[in-house]
Structure 1
Amino acid sequence: MSILHKSDGTTIPLQHAVSHFNTCLAPHLHIARINNRRLRVALFRLPPETALASTFALHTLSCTPVFLNDRWGHNELQLSLQTFPVSLLITTAVEQRLLSAVLADLPDPPALLILQNDGTFSCSSSPQSLQNALDLPMETCAVFFTSGTSGTPKAVPLTFRNIQVQSRFKQHSLRLSPTSVYLHLAPLCHLSGFSSSHAAALSHAHHVFPPSVLHASEKSQAQALLNFTRRTRVTHLVAVPATLQLLCDAAQDIALPDVRVVLYGGARADAPLVATLSQLCPHASVLGAYGMSEAASSVIMQEHPERAYILPHFAARIVDTSTGRTCKAGERDTIRSAGETVWPVEVEDALTAHPIVKEAVVVGVPHRVLGEAVVAAVVLMVREAITGVVTTLMKTCRESLAHYKCPKRIVVTEYLPRNANGKVSRADVRRMFGADRRAARM
């Protein structure tokens, strides 16, 4: 039986936690069994142990959890709920104000369930209509959001079989067992965190949740998280390279001898990071995973810098859809920053929405911690208006984009480099940032 080591230091069998939330949620979900359909129930910024147990509880209540990205702001939340409406939305009192503002702009808002300190739920509003949301097949296990080809949230429903196949694969690849201790660093709203957590539950492993005050965003917190990991004798780490880099930077003389497997995904881990991870976790295998939400997470597993394998039931190749030519590594338009996908066009639209900007191009440049940093080059309508424009544009981006999408640097230029066909050369724009260190930082 899986054991939850909660962030407050207490422990509880996963089965007991699921039973508790089943009892607490059932009164609010009595309509879920109507017409033999699954009710869509969104989860947003719940404590990870609550989100995990609630997921299993929702399944027993004929509901499908819909995971909203914890890093989203007002715009992304509103768009996702407009394009993929839900009947109920579960969150905490801390997030109630944000979500109330989001729901106020929806024509058919869901009911809002608020998690209380005692682990129960209170309903702060009632849905105007449930029929539109009762349209998921019974085999739908969960719904995640991906940026797709447009840079905007796109719902991806996955079946129980999708998740089972992925979890079985990870159970085998990560060598999970009842003696394993899995540290919850990858959020459940990301499919990698969800599938890894399910693989750990399938293996009856221990689930360890770090205290909510511990995040790897600052060196002191990263050191505390390392000490926590060592003290709880964690055996399995799953995280994006940005988090692992911060842990390595904070390690100093700390080592994690109990860790047996480190799995990274969401971005590329360079050779120095892999080498440092091997020193931090001397007895661990360091694995890299590449995948996509539509494939229920991992598709390719890398166990060596020059060797990787494709999961069973998958075939993969990378091609240029316009020519059919097989692409070389690195040929892509998206930016992977701290494990998140950023589509340049979305950031460019935010910049050009300001009347002072004539043109904008956004690219990703190598960053030691983030993997890639979002940067932008802009051409102004009026050349003389350069004073204070970078600060203004930074503010504009922060007001309309999630923080991870905002440029870390902006350069004002007289023109954008173009190729013979008149298209902006993103490669040359990247070289601009390699040569120009005067760009402003956020």
Structure 2
Amino acid sequence: MTAVTSSQPDQPAAKVPAHYRFWPKRLPYRLTPPANSLWQNLAVSALRYPDKAALVFFGRTFSYAEVLQKAERLAACLHGLGVKKGDRVVLCMQNCPQLVIAHFAILRANAVVVPVNPMNRAEELKHYINDPDAKVAITTADLADELAQASDALPASERLSHLIVTHFTDAFDAQVQGENAPPAAWMAWLTTRHAPPSLSGGQVVAWIDALAAAGEAPQHTAGPADLAILPYTSGTTGLPKGCMHTHASIMHNTVASCLWGTGTPENVTLAVVPMFHITGMVSQMHAAIYAAATMVVMPRWDRDLAGRLISAWRVTHWTNIPTMVIDLLASPHFDQYDLSSLVAIGGGGAAMPQAVAQRLFEQFGLRYAEGYGLTETAAPSHSNPPDAPKQQCLGIPFMSTDARVVNPDTLQEVPQGEQGEIIIHGPEVFAGYWKRPDATAEAFIEFEGKKFFRSGDLGHVDEDGYFFLTDRLKRMINASGFKIWPAEVEALMFRHPAIQEACIISAKDSYRGETVKAVVVLRASHKGKLTEQELIDWCREHMAVYKIPRIVQFVDALPKSGSGKVMWRTLQEAEQTK
């Protein structure tokens, strides 16, 4: 059981945060999470509810006992492949039962999950193999070639030694009909049987063989202080950085998310937010496993499949990106779906339009609760109280969390209502960046005797203690909740032989909120020989689809400062005035 404190904060009444007036009355301000590993959350749920549905995938149900047994078998296989305590294992796939099983198998083997966006291409994937020194990766057959290409392109000492490959049909019946059936457009993607790739200097292992491997899983010795998850986040410069999360930091937000969303074993969650992403991983997957809830799993977004699954499985909880809700409400078949089972809906990554939030409330009695967090904070550092949300608002500091707004130059707290940088202190904050002590030191400050993480986001606090996002200190594009870092896209584009200079900025998009625009200077030898569409097509082959510039503008020169730096903000401001 989770021990929770019910005492009031140890501070004078005059300093009690304003937002405590809106705190859910059923919850304490702080909690003491279980002092065990994340793996044990699955073990306990399977012990209590062995026959209960843990996962549903296109009509195929996996009980908690089955998920536990498969994760144990896969952990034994990993152990047999030489995975030791603290080793990093790449996990690259869309939402499916195998992702959940593999995630917990890695934890069971005392190893560290490196979740990777399956939209990444080989050029991008190289970094996720060599930076964490991963020797084993687990993926789906449609992505295996990309990982093999990435590994083969590395020096021999940095390559993968084993690649475990599963097919989606290892987890569902391709002949499924009715409301559980995949969209027709997905059938080739989901059901095609791919030949295993060759892996230079390594071995490809089929999922079914991995689960049938002889041997036992190692003794489980991982504890709260051990590294559990190494998700990567990009920044203003350089390659993505690994965020070191321990079992304890993920455990806190797992339990807090469960309590905040009234998690019970009777919850039925629509698991459509990607579980390679920190929000889907923690607030959706880990919270559901901790509560022994049922997850109805979608590998990608499709509005009509979502409508059918919510109706058929009586989904009660749905964490999402606002564009998903907008899309579902716009379906021509919407009147055929029954959303009456939903009791909790919310998300983040982008602001929910006020008119849509109002429709949810008026038509279904649902208050859309927005939240805010980063990879560095294990998803939510802020969330709107379910019973007192404010629209287009980040919410209030999450359980056990202290957040302030400071002047980014002086690092002094600014008065209520004034803009400044949001800083965060709490048990969910990461331990630092993998192999990057310099970046770690820059990410933290000491404030009032405590260590605070600098979010890089600008915001303000209103009179009720609710936080609002106003701007970004960091250079970043937010397209439908996907964070895109211009420096990373620019670095990939510079590999094109025609590009002399490139600057990535955001452009307005009626659906995604923002989209990617590339302002490009071509080499003299290539002017007139490359079209904007040809460059976009090249980007599609070399980077994740959400990073691809949707707009390309060729120019003769980029604006530069006196020191020769590209003045990206000048281009951004010009774009915003269009």
TM-score in terms of structure 2 length: 0.64
Shift of 1:313: 3.4
- 227-236 vs 239-248, greater mean Cα deviation: 239-248
- Correspondence 1:16-415 to 2 at 5 A: 16-30=66-80, 37-45=85-93, 48-106=96-154, 107-108=156-157, 109-115=160-166, 120-122=207-209, 139-150=226-237, 152-196=239-283, 197-210=285-298, 212=299, 215-216=300-301, 221-250=302-331, 252-253=334-335, 254=337, 256-278=339-361, 282-302=364-384, 303-305=389-391, 308-317=395-404, 321=408, 324=411, 326=420, 327-328=458-459, 329-332=470-473, 333-354=475-496, 356-380=498-522, 385-386=527-528, 388-414=530-556
Q: Secondary structure at the match of 2:371?
A: strand
Superposed CA offset, 1:135-163 (max 9, x none): 99972222212114436322223111111
Kindly tell me: are residues 373 and 272 of structure 1, through their superposed partners in 2, closer, same or farther at Cα, counting changes over 3 Å? farther
For 1:260 and 1:32, how far apart are their aligned partners in 2? 45
Superposed CA offset, 1:380-435 (max 9, x none): 55599357531232233223322211111122345556789986263654544663
Shift of 1:170: 0.7
Kindly tell me: are residues 18 and 423 of structure 1, through their superposed partners in 2, closer, same or farther at Cα, counting changes over 3 Å? same
Shift of 1:371: 2.4
- 239-248 vs 201-210, greater mean Cα deviation: 239-248
Alignment match, 1:440: none
Shift of 1:72: 1.2
- 2:65 partner letter: Q
- Unmatched runs of 5 consecutive residues or more in structure 2: 1-48, 172-206, 211-221, 413-419, 421-457, 460-469
- 287-296 vs 363-372, greater mean Cα deviation: 363-372
- 1:7 partner letter: F
Superposed CA offset, 1:64-92 (max 9, x none): 32212122111221111111122321123
Superposed CA offset, 1:293-341 (max 9, x none): 1221111113312572112333334556556482451134101112222
For 2:537 and 2:520, how far apart are their aligned partners in 1? 15
Shift of 1:344: 1.4
- 140-149 vs 159-168, greater mean Cα deviation: 140-149
Alignment match, 1:127: none
Do the aligned partners of 1:186 and 1:239 also contact (CA within 8 Å) in 2?
yes
- 257-266 vs 135-144, greater mean Cα deviation: 135-144
Shift of 1:204: 1.8
For 1:152 and 1:320, how far apart are their aligned partners in 2? 28
For 1:257 and 1:353, how far apart are their aligned partners in 2? 51
If asked which structure has higher relative contact order (CA below 8 Å, sep 6+), I would say 2
Shift of 1:97: 2.0
Do the aligned partners of 2:504 and 2:518 also contact (CA within 8 Å) in 1?
yes
Kindly tell me: are residues 224 and 16 of structure 1, through their superposed partners in 2, closer, same or farther at Cα, counting changes over 3 Å? closer
Shift of 1:266: 2.2
For 1:383 and 1:278, how far apart are their aligned partners in 2? 58
For 2:165 and 2:360, how far apart are their aligned partners in 1? 39
Kindly tell me: are residues 224 and 297 of structure 1, through their superposed partners in 2, closer, same or farther at Cα, counting changes over 3 Å? closer
For 2:101 and 2:133, how far apart are their aligned partners in 1? 23
Do the aligned partners of 1:14 and 1:53 also contact (CA within 8 Å) in 2?
no
Do the aligned partners of 1:361 and 1:376 also contact (CA within 8 Å) in 2?
yes
Superposed CA offset, 1:10-40 (max 9, x none): 2232232221231244144136686xx3332
For 2:509 and 2:521, how far apart are their aligned partners in 1? 24
Alignment match, 2:14: none
Q: Secondary structure at the match of 1:316?
A: strand
- 1:369 partner letter: Y
Kindly tell me: are residues 21 and 165 of structure 1, through their superposed partners in 2, closer, same or farther at Cα, counting changes over 3 Å? closer
- 416-425 vs 227-236, greater mean Cα deviation: 416-425
- 114-123 vs 255-264, greater mean Cα deviation: 114-123
- 1:406 partner letter: I
Alignment match, 2:20: none
For 2:532 and 2:394, how far apart are their aligned partners in 1? 43
Q: RMSD over aligned Cα, in angstroms?
A: 3.2
For 1:59 and 1:3, how far apart are their aligned partners in 2? 21
- 385-394 vs 71-80, greater mean Cα deviation: 385-394
For 2:306 and 2:561, how far apart are their aligned partners in 1? 48
- Unmatched runs of 5 consecutive residues or more in structure 1: 124-134, 436-442
Aligned residues: 414
User: How many percent identity over aligned positions?
Assistant: 22
For 1:364 and 1:318, how far apart are their aligned partners in 2? 25
Superposed CA offset, 1:249-282 (max 9, x none): 22643451211112212233332343344456x1
Q: Does 1:11 align with 2:61?
A: yes
Kindly tell me: are residues 25 and 399 of structure 1, through their superposed partners in 2, closer, same or farther at Cα, counting changes over 3 Å? same
Shift of 1:5: 4.0
- 247-256 vs 167-176, greater mean Cα deviation: 247-256
- 374-383 vs 81-90, greater mean Cα deviation: 374-383
- 136-145 vs 10-19, greater mean Cα deviation: 136-145
Do the aligned partners of 1:115 and 1:122 also contact (CA within 8 Å) in 2?
no
TM-score in terms of structure 1 length: 0.82
Shift of 1:291: 1.0
Do the aligned partners of 1:48 and 1:188 also contact (CA within 8 Å) in 2?
no
